[in-house]
Structures are given as structure tokens and as C-alpha cells.
A and B are shown apart, each in its own frame.
Chain A
């Protein structure tokens, strides 16, 4: 009788194995990006709360100060970790960088910044992902050059690689 019971358990055990396999694989995000239609257009009003000890980000923070970089990132995004040294390099060369933490938990953002460094002057928290639409972003990471009038001048899709640093500095110069 005992042996027979085990047979009825078999489907459950098989399914448990399957779930374990899938859970193992959930981490890898999809790969897909589309160019923003917002380039050349002014950003709409927004105000995001700060996160991880950094002050929040609003449209007024972008205006008037001269061109800045806005980097949309997330702690669950692998390429975002990869581009961290390049963001630091941009900051070292004098760029002002603001961050938008997309669909993220404050604790995760803090952990991410502790691991990979914090090049951001301000960080806006965007748990709902609505800034993706405001910037016309289709993925993370994306980096935008925003000029002193709050107009998006340039969009960089995907992570910033070493060879992109000069390019972004040039775009910042152009946006002045």
C-alpha cells in the first residue's frame, strides 16, 4: 500500500522539479530596445522621491543648470552593473549624472550602489516605471542627455561601454 501511495505523489514531485528549474532561470531579463521618439522634445513635469540617501529628482532639477546625463537603471539589470565604471569615468570628467531607479526596492538600490559605486547627484525612484514612457525608453539601462531647457537631446541605448564615454562627453558639449 505504501508503494502505491508514492506513485500518486510522482506528478507532484516532477512538477516541483520543474518549478525549481524555472525559478533558477527567472533572473535573466529579456533583451530588446527601441529608439525613443522623445529625442528633441521637452520632458513633461515630473517629481520623483529620492532613494538610498540621495535627493529625489524632478524636472526643475534638470532645468537651468546646463546639460546633464539622466541614467535609467535598476538593481536587477545586469548591464547596469557593467556600465558603472563608465558612469564613474563620465563623472570624473565633469559630467553631472542623475539616476532614475526603475521598478526597484530602496534596499536593493542601496545595495546596488554600495557594490558598484554611486556616480549620481540625484536619484529618482520610479517604482511604477512611468518614467520609461516620459523618456520614451524601452529598456534599461538607457542614458539621456537633457539640456538646460529640459529637452532631451540625445539617447544612448543599452549600457555605456568604454568607447562611448568620449561620445557622451561630446553630446553634453553639443547640448550646451
Chain B
């Protein structure tokens, strides 16, 4: 194989770099479109129900008195509320330490064919009174703001 002239070599290098970057960019854009999970509050869902199977992050407060378990003790049923609308959720798995009534929660999952929200993952952060920022924002939007800034 001949050693390329510097100019040609730089061109080849630049083209190879460009090709890789463009390929990575295209893959990234498609992957972003397919996999990004939109954050929704129950009232967003009431206004515009998402398609079954589409991954969304459902955020709001755990409605007081809504928490129950299935007979086998494994499925947790509860209602997420943003004070305007409610979405019933079921979740199969270990419940996070900080899952409480009236506390903020983010449930990642999707609606099944019958229109019931099935969560794959529950996020309640590791602090006593944590309010996930998205939840705070969603509640704020609906006139029931909550959450606190922490300056230390």
C-alpha cells in the first residue's frame, strides 16, 4: 500500500471522521426519537392519552388512601394525582424506601392495551421530603406548587 500524500491523507482522514460522525449523529437522532421518555402529569394524560406501549414518565403525588396491594402481595396499585386529574398505576417490584402517600413520585412505564398504566420503575428519591423537580414543575403549572429550593 502506497503512503498517501499529506494532502490526500488529510482528506481521507477528514472524510472518515465526517462519515463516522454523521453515522453516529444519525443513529443518535433516531435513537433519541424512539427512546426518549416524555414526562407527563395526570392532567396531560387526561387531555391527550398517549398510545399504548409508548414509554412515558408519569409524575405527581401519590394520592392519599389510594395505595393497595394485589392478593399475591407483589403488585402495588396506587393513584398518581396532580390535583386536577388522577391516573391509576400498578407496579410490580420492590417499592422504593421513600414511597409514601402524599409524596412525589415518578413512575416510568406505559399504558397497556386496556388503558391501564403499568410502571416498570418507581422513583422516589433518597430523601425524606424529596420532590422530583419535574413533579414540582407539573404541580406548579396546575396551580398547586410544592417543593423547596435547597441552597447549601
Interface residues of A, Cβ cutoff 8 Å to B: 28-35, 74, 76-80, 82, 102-103, 129, 132, 138-142, 157-159, 161
Task: Kindly name the residue among A31, A129, A132 whose own CB sees the greatest number of chain B CB atoms within 10 A.
Answer: A31
The answer to whether B128 touches A31, judged by C-beta atoms less than 8 angstroms apart, is no
B145–A31 CB distance below 8 A: no
Q: Judging by beta carbons under 8 Å apart, are B145 and A139 in contact?
A: no
- Name the A residues within 8 Å of B136 (CB-CB): 31
Chain B residues proximal to chain A, CB less than 8 Å = 125, 127-133, 136, 140, 144-152
Give the secondary structure class of A's interface. Answer: loop
Nearest residue, chain A, Cβ from B146 = A158
Chain A residues, CB < 8 A from B144: 161
A sample of 24 inter-chain contacts (CB < 8 A) reads A31-B136, A31-B147, A31-B150, A32-B127, A32-B129, A32-B130, A32-B150, A33-B130, A34-B129, A74-B149, A77-B148, A77-B149, A79-B146, A79-B149, A82-B145, A132-B151, A138-B150, A139-B150, A140-B150, A141-B148, A157-B129, A158-B148, A159-B147, A161-B146
Number of A-B contacts defined by CB within 8 Å: 81
Q: Which one of B133, B144, B147 has the greatest number of beta carbons of chain A within 10 Å?
A: B147
Q: Which of A31, A103, A159 contacts B133 (CB 8 A)?
A: A31
- Interface secondary structure of B, over-half rule: loop
Contact call B128/A35, Cβ cutoff below 8 A: yes
Cross-chain contact A31 with B152 (CB below 8 angstroms): no
Closest to A76 in B: B149
The interface residues of chain B lying within 8 Å CB-to-CB of A82 are 140, 145
Most chain A CB neighbours (cut-off 10 Å) among B129, B132, B150 = B150
B112 to chain A, nearest CB (A): 31
Q: A63 → chain B, closest Cβ, in Å?
A: 27
Q: In the bound complex, do residue B145 and residue A33 qualify as a contact, i.e. CB atoms below 8 Å apart?
A: no
| Cβ contact within 8 Å between B129 and A33 | yes
Q: Out of A31, A140, A161, name the residue touching B131 (CB < 8 Å).
A: A31
Nearest CB of chain B from residue A33's CB, rounded to whole Å? 4
Residues of B within 8 A of A34 (CB): 127-129
Q: Which residue of A lies closest to B126 (CB)?
A: A32
| B26: min CB distance to chain A, Å | 19
Which residues of chain A come closer than 8 Å to B131, judged between CB atoms?
A: 31, 158
User: Nearest chain B CB to A75's CB is how many angstroms away?
Assistant: 11
Would B132 and A31 count as touching, CB distance under 8 A? yes
Shortest distance in angstroms between A109's beta carbon and chain B's nearest beta carbon?
15
Question: With the chains together, A77 CA to B131 CA distance in Å?
Answer: 15
Rounded to whole angstroms, the CA-CA distance of A35 and B148 in the bound complex is 13
- Further pairs besides A129-B151, A158-B148: 12, Cβ < 8 Å: A31-B133, A32-B148, A32-B150, A33-B127, A74-B149, A78-B145, A79-B145, A79-B146, A132-B152, A139-B148, A139-B150, A140-B150
A155-B37 Cα distance, complex, nearest whole Å: 37
> B147 to A79, Cβ gap below 8 A?
yes
Residue of A nearest to B104 (CB): A31
Looking at the complex, which one of A28, A79, A139, A159 makes contact with B151 (CB distance below 8 Å)?
A: A139
